[in-house]
Amino acid sequence: MIQLKRVYDEPGPHDGKRFLVERLWPRGIRKTDLRTDGWEKEAGPSTELRKWFSHDPKKWEEFRRKYFAELDTRPEAWEPILKGAERGTVTLLYSSHDAEHNNAVALKQYLETKLAHGSGKHSGAHG
């Protein structure tokens, strides 16, 4: 199971493995204060894509398409998360204020498609 949580929210007993999925470290949080099992920087969108999107809901569908294409070229970035999700609960940590239009939401959708197809080795099919 894959769930989402803002980095500013308290860790919970049902978080499972926690992965930060941002390229940039979240503002206002010391590295020693964030409980995480991994900082998967490369699972975040490229700097160019992140700046282009700029959390604009009008660009959401195009952002997802471009981000999924990036993820297709970087399976090593998300396979540790997928392996964790195959064994239990994982929580994707993000810093965005927008809980509906951010890279963690898109990454969750991408990974859930991979899980539904039974392997992280499949590419191209992500709804």
Q: Could you read off the pLDDT of 30-47 as tens digits, one per residue?
A: 999 999 999 999 999 999
Residue 93's pLDDT band, with cuts at 50, 70 and 90, is very high
Residues with Cβ within 8 Å of residue 27, at least 6 apart in sequence: 95
Q: Distance of CA 123 to CAs 11, 39, 89, 101, Å?
A: 32, 23, 22, 23
> What single-letter DSSP state applies at residue 14?
T
> What would the mean pLDDT of 11-28 be, rounded to a whole number?
96
Q: Collapse the DSSP code of 27 into the 3-class scheme (helix H, G, I; strand E, B; otherwise coil) and give the result.
A: coil
Beta strands in 35-79 (DSSP E): 38-39
**Given CA atoms 33, 14, 77, 57 in this order, what sign does their dihedral have?**
negative
Instruction: Show me where the domains of the chain are located.
Output: 2-116
> What would the mean pLDDT of 104-127 be, rounded to a whole number?
76
Query: Distance of alpha carbon 47 from its chain centroid, rounded?
Result: 15
Q: Which residue has tokens 């929580």?
A: 91
| pTM beyond 0.95 | no
